[in-house]
Structure 1
Amino acid sequence: MKRHLMAALLATSAMATAASACEVTLRSSDTHPEGYPTVVAVQEMGKMLEERTNGRLCIEVFHSAQLGQEKDTIEQTQFGVIDMNRVSMGPFNNIIEETQVVSLPYVFRSVEHMHNVMDGPIGDEILAAFEQHDLVGLAYFDGGSRSFYNSQKPITSMEDLAGMKFRVMQSDIFVDMVGALGANATPMPYGEVYSSIQTGVIDGAENNWPSYESSGHFEVAGYYTLDQHLIVPEVLVMSKASFDKLSADDQAIVRQAAKDAVPVMRALWAEREKVSEQKVRDAGVEVITDIDKTPFIEAMKPVYEKHVTSDKLKDLVTRIQATE
């Protein structure tokens, strides 16, 4: 933890001169590389802030996990060392109960369904839950649909998953999801996946097209199965300590700029998905599309029974499923 705190402070110092024109420069973390849709969207949000506050507020985005992997940057954001953070929803599952629901396998019928849920009152309710944990939920970004990929063989059924080792995010739901499918889950930071597949520590992982491509995982895991078990939104959060230092007017401007960055991100994401898919197909990756998802969906019943236990979560699931 101390190492990541020091990295954050050193990176902040290095960027201070470039951002000196602004009165307040918000330090934002992202594990994805420069040019990735989430990175570009927060950079665009920064431009909006600078314009709308007449230069009082700026954002410096530290991409490529410069400030640490997601678990560490969440802690840094809670402490106020990092001001803003784009994070996958999975690492929050063991911290914020409400985030578990949107991380459930097959809870969303499609990306459009996910948008309709997260853009409405359910999404706002989940964002509000972050404040009890020293964070302010600002907006949701797309994380696409996640599917399994591996270095060993084509996966066309649940039987093919039996005994295989897959990296998952550090979330109990994801661990139990993989276990319910008959495979073995290995939680590990995103940055360790490439070498772990390469050396045989794991057989594969699960992610969306852009992450599979931009991480280079397709180079060491040449089988991609479109089972689309997860459609998990990502979240942009702010340190409550940093947020509380702003005036009420500037807080409102930050919230609105975050919301206005969402359509920017979605447009970039839709285009990036197409480009990434084509790149990995051109590289010779075997993409398995002929797969019956029904057994996968039915296998998730014990996952729901284990994790959807409180009345609050049961109500959220019911309302999500009722959303058109």
Structure 2
Amino acid sequence: MQSIILTLSRKNMLKNKLPLVIIFFLLIISCKKEDGAKVLYLGHSLPQSHPVHKGILEFQKALENKSGGTLKVKIFPDGQLGSEREVLELLQIGSVAATKVSAATLSNFVPEYHILGIPYLFRDKNHRFEILEGAIGKSILEKGSKFWLRGLCYYDAGSRSFYTSSKPIRTPDDLRGLKIRVMNNQMAINMVNAMGGSATPLAYGELYTAIQQGVVDGAENNPPSFVTSNHYEISKYYTLDQHSAVPDVLLIGTKFWDKLSDKEKIWVQQAADESAQAQKKFWSDSVDESMRIAKEAGVEIIIPDKSLFAKKSKSVLEEFVNKYPDMETIVNQIKNE
């Protein structure tokens, strides 16, 4: 079996204090073949009920079918191999073949992904997918190769909106004084602060308890994540301001990719593209179901004037182009498409 992975995550390596010589030995033997098949090990942090995981299952099925069983995918969900950042680092050293991460996390490795987190960059869902599936989106996917992280496709992660436990958010002024959990991503931090809240980076796995204990007043995320995380149980206000639409990205490490034949590379890319189309439907169905569950649980769904939030967040774009002036052209291309 060829599997470009260490079956122990870096977290487990550190926990068990494995000597470096053993770690390198595990990496070497992980490249063996078994039954003539190459096995692509894929780790991600989402639960198996999540629509993105279902999209990954489609990738698994499509790749095995296209390759006649010579390429297989073994999936490790639920953060079994570590956090998004940890798994990305495992891809870079060649001990994991693939992963799914948020473009926000990926932007800490590949700067161009910052663009996709700019608040209110996309006019609507159709515009977003025209960009992601067109030349601009594909160009950004390719940018990661120089960092050993080749993008294969985007998965729909919907639009992110605010949810709170203590008070409803109807205008940006209502965010004043509230601690809002965000990903450890500078653009997300700048956005919440610009809107008047107090951005609080926090690990996703710690968020339920943090809201419950009042460490933070709320967070921002899409409907399926709001529900599958059970945050709707303790956050009774959900404001659909839809401030950003940060996609998920299916990635393959170049250390694995470069070992594939030209035909195998085609199969992998085709399987990824097909899984992305299937995942869109999974996502749409999940959004509908998640909103139903939230409403039945007594969550107040608030439809605000999004223009108020967009106006407050304009400084985020200005700061971005000042920091990355070479990316302003791409931003303008997206806005003018």
The alpha carbon displacement at 1:78 in A equals 1.5
Counterpart of 2:278 in structure 1 is: 264
User: Whole-Å Cα distance in 2 between the matches of residues 128 and 29 of structure 1?
Assistant: 21
Structure 1 partner of 2:228 = 214
User: What is the aligned partner in structure 1 of residue 239 from structure 2?
Assistant: 225
CA–CA distance in structure 1, aligned partners of residues 50 and 14 of structure 2: 25
Q: Is the 8 A contact 1:38 1:265 kept in 2?
A: yes
- The DSSP-based 3-state class of the residue aligned with 1:51 is helix
Query: Match of 2:289?
Result: 275
Q: 1:33 aligns with which of 47, 58, 66?
A: 47
- How far apart, CA to CA, are the structure 2 residues paired with 1:158 and 1:22? 58
Describe the shift of the 1:84–1:277 C-alpha distance in structure 2 as closer, same or farther (beyond 3 A).
same
Q: Which secondary structure state, in structure 1, belongs to the residue aligned with residue 329 of structure 2? A: helix
Residue 305 in structure 1 maps to residue 318 in structure 2:
yes
Contact 1:22–1:58, Cα closer than 8 Å, also in 2? no
Q: CA deviation at 1:31?
A: 1.4
Q: Is the Cα–Cα contact under 8 Å of residues 69 and 190 in structure 1 kept in the other structure?
A: no
Name the counterpart of 2:308: 295
> 1:126 and 1:41 mapped to 2: Cα distance?
21
* Identical pairs, percent: 36
Alpha-carbon distance between aligned partners in 1 of 2:156 and 2:13, rounded to the nearest angstrom: 28
Structure 2 residue 155 is the aligned partner of structure 1 residue 141: yes
Match of 2:263 in 1: 249
The alpha carbon displacement at 1:24 in A equals 1.4
**What secondary structure is seen at the aligned counterpart in 2 of 1:308?**
helix
8 Å CA contact 2:160–2:245 kept in 1: the answer is: yes
For structure 2, the residue ranges without an aligned partner over 5 or more in a row are: 1-8, 16-22
The answer as to 2:11 corresponding to 1:3 is yes
RMSD (Å), alpha carbons: 2.0
- Deviation (angstroms), 1:2: 3.7
Matched position secondary structure for 1:148: strand
Structure 1 counterpart of 2:209, which letter? S
Corresponding residue for residue 97 of structure 1: 111
TM-score for the superposition, normalised by structure 1:
0.92
Give the whole-Å Cα distance in 2 for the aligned partners of 1:246 and 1:177.
Answer: 41
Shift of the alpha carbon at 1:209? 0.4
> 2:5 corresponds to which residue?
none
Inter-CA distance 73–175: structure 2 relative to 1 (3 Å threshold): same
User: 1:92-111 deviations in whole A, cap 9, x for unaligned?
Assistant: 22321211111101001111
Structure-2 separation of matches of 1:141 and 1:61: 16
Decide which moves more: 149-158 or 22-31: 22-31
In structure 2, C-alpha distance between the alignment counterparts of 1:86 and 1:110, rounded to whole Å: 24
Deviations 1:3-34 (A, max 9, x none): 25579x9xx99xx9xx9656111111221111
**Structure 1 residues not aligned, in runs of 5+:** none
Instruction: Name the CA distance, whole Å, in 2 between partners of 1:149 and 1:21.
Output: 49
How many residues align structurally?
315
Taking structure 2 as the reference length, what is the TM-score of the superposition? Answer: 0.89
Q: Could you tell me how far 1:146 is from its partner in structure 2?
A: 0.5
CA distance in 2, matches of 1:197, 1:157: 21
